[in-house]
Amino acid sequence: MSKTLDQVNVTGLRVLLRADLNVPMHEGKVTDLTRVERLVPTIRELSEKGAKVIVLSHFDRPKGKRVESMSLKPIAEALATVMNKPVAFADDCVGPVAEEAVAKMQNGDILVLENTRFHAGEEENNPEFAAALAKLGDIYVNDAFSASHRAHASVVGIATHLPAFAGRLMQAELHALEQALGTPARPVAAIVAGSKVSTKLDLLANLVAKVDILVIGGAMANTFLAAEGYNVGKSLQEPDLHDTAREIQKAAVVKGCELILPRDVVVAEKFEANAPTKVVKVSEIPSNMMALDVGPATVAAFINRLPEIKTIIWNGPLGAFETKPFDAATNALAQAIALATKEGKIVSVGGGGDTVSALKLAGYHEHMTYLSGAGGAFLEWMEGKVLPGVIALSKDLSNIG
Ligand code: ADP
Ligand code: MG
């Protein structure tokens, strides 16, 4: 278990806070502040307790050199607006520029250092670079679960030099994932959907061994249906993965995991907004049509099972939700899960880039027990991997506290 901010007195300490400020930007402006807002509790707590808060983050992929358009400066400004407090900025994350900026700080001040990926040592987890970062602080706090699947210097190397702690956002993420997959209240159901089986093989293999019910939707369900011998018409599917789909089904039987595939689907001739659609049984998909959403009978059948389920983990939209009306199944399921969560009947945890977008569009993103903003890191966790950044936190070097 990693230590948290409850186990350290930060007053007067220089706290190196690894955040994830890799936010969506367009023409120099932050277009979605969610990631910045989620950092506020940790930064506010540290600042109010009188720490010197030094924020480290990567942004985009500058590949080890300075790229002005990938500067963290505009994001530091966005942080100041969100915090309603001055936030200083230093043009480099190591060396004299960073050292001078840190030396000027008073207790409670906040400083953002320039993009860690402007140095090749970041992605290489170079020991000298990690040491140069570590030199700027007294303790290290990781609040970037979403960057913790990468063994980079500001995530892993730095923690070998300093007492390391989980920030409040990291703590919430680890707690939610533990509740959903570590020691869940049972029965636990996983909903896995999205476009391809191939991107989620490890995840499916891990889940069949851990959950009681596995619901498969989205285009990846087409691959499973085709592997079972159904004609899926022009649907998106992966013929190369039919054997794999059958193996996953066999593994589910061995592990006692109930695998649920769609029984009906919404089909259309063309994949376009408001295309004429019809609902058909999976045994009756016309050859000239494609399945673009899971059908209402399938959704109703799963919603009817909700009362017996205690925990739900959800990754992947059930249909091609970006195009109406193929968001219908995802929206209906999101609504039912939101209600059961609100009534205290289930713990619901979701994650994945498109899953978050789909739940936002449905209007239910704030109704899950926890919705992870960490795309790749969340998926790796669902694959059963322990993330290098999380491992680095549990190495106990701390004697402060
Ligand atoms: P996440 O990013 O949440 O892990 P994925 O990237 O695996 O999710 O899957 C999301 C994509 O799957 C969306 O772009 C959605 O349009 C697509 N998708 C889901 N169902 C279908 C379908 N039946 N046909 C085509 N695309 C689909
Ligand atoms: Mg995706």
End-to-end CA distance of the chain: 16
Is residue 398 very low, low, confident or very high in pLDDT (cuts 50, 70, 90)? very low
Closest approach atom of ligand 1 to CA 379 = 4
Q: Looking at the CA of 195, name the nearest ligand.
A: 1
Residue to mutate (ligand 1; options 237, 289, 354, 381; most atoms within 8 A of CB): 354
Percent above pLDDT 70 for the chain = 99
CA distance 317 to 326: 10
For residue 262, give Cα distances in angstroms to 113, 214, 358: 49, 12, 19
Q: Which residues contact 96 (CB under 8 A, 6 or more apart)?
A: none
CA distance 197 to 186: 26
> Is a pLDDT exceeding 70 seen at residue 278?
yes
Three-state SS at 216: strand
For residue 133, give Cα distances in angstroms to 11, 47, 54, 121: 20, 20, 11, 11
Percent above pLDDT 90 for the chain = 93
pLDDT for position 396: 58
Strand 14-18 to 139-142 pairing: parallel
Could you tell me the strand order of the sheet in which 264-268 lies?
A: 277-281, 264-268, 290-294
Three-state SS at 85: coil
> Is a pLDDT exceeding 80 seen at residue 395?
no
Cα–ligand 2 centroid distance for 188 (angstroms)? 23
Cα–ligand 1 centroid distance for 183 (angstroms)? 28
Nearest CA residue ID for atom 16, ligand 1? 320
- The class level of CATH for 184-382 reads alpha beta
Is residue 400 very low, low, confident or very high in pLDDT (cuts 50, 70, 90)? very low
Beta pairing partners, 190: 214, 313
Which candidate, 201, 146, 198, 176, places its Cα nearest to that of 376? 146
Q: Looking at the CA of 194, name the nearest ligand.
A: 1
Which are the catalytic amino acids? 35, 196, 353, 376
Three-state SS at 272: coil
Which candidate, 159, 200, 101, places its Cα nearest to that of 392? 159
- Cα–Cα–Cα angle for 30, 374, 144, rounded to 5 degrees: 80
Question: Contact 101/93 with Cβ under 8 angstroms?
Answer: no
Cα–ligand 2 centroid distance for 396 (angstroms)? 35
The superfamily (CATH) of domain 5-169 is Phosphoglycerate kinase, N-terminal domain (3.40.50.1260)
Closest approach atom of ligand 1 to CA 235 = 24
CA distance 158 to 139: 10
The DSSP code sequence of 282-350 is GGG--TT-EEEEE-HHHHHHHHHHGGG-SEEEEES-SS-TTSTTTTHHHHHHHHHHHHHHHTTS-EEEE
Closest approach atom of ligand 1 to CA 221 = 23
Nearest CA residue ID for atom 27, ligand 1? 320
pLDDT for position 399: 42
Q: What is the pLDDT of residues 166-179, one digit of tens each?
A: 999 999 999 999 99
pLDDT for position 401: 34
Distance of CA 297 to the CA centre of its chain: 30
Which candidate, 371, 345, 382, 316, places its Cα nearest to that of 185? 345
Closest approach atom of ligand 1 to CA 323 = 16
Measured from CB, residues less than 6 Å from any atom of ligand 1 are 194-195, 199, 218-219, 236, 291-292, 315-317, 319-322, 352-355
Q: How many CA atoms lie within 13 A of 399 on its CB side?
A: 1
CA distance 65 to 178: 37
Mean pLDDT of the chain: 95
pLDDT for position 129: 98
CATH 3.40.50.1260 in the chain, residue ranges: 5-169, 184-382
Nearest CA residue ID for atom 14, ligand 1? 320
Q: What's the average model confidence in pLDDT over 10-26?
A: 96
Q: What is the pLDDT of residues 207-239, one digit of tens each?
A: 999 999 999 999 999 999 999 999 999 999 999
Strand 290-294 to 264-268 pairing: antiparallel
Q: Is 63 exposed, middle or buried (CB count within 10 Å of its CB: 0-12, 13-18, 19+)?
A: exposed
Q: Looking at the CA of 200, name the nearest ligand.
A: 1
For residue 73, give Cα distances in angstroms to 129, 137, 141, 264: 21, 21, 21, 50
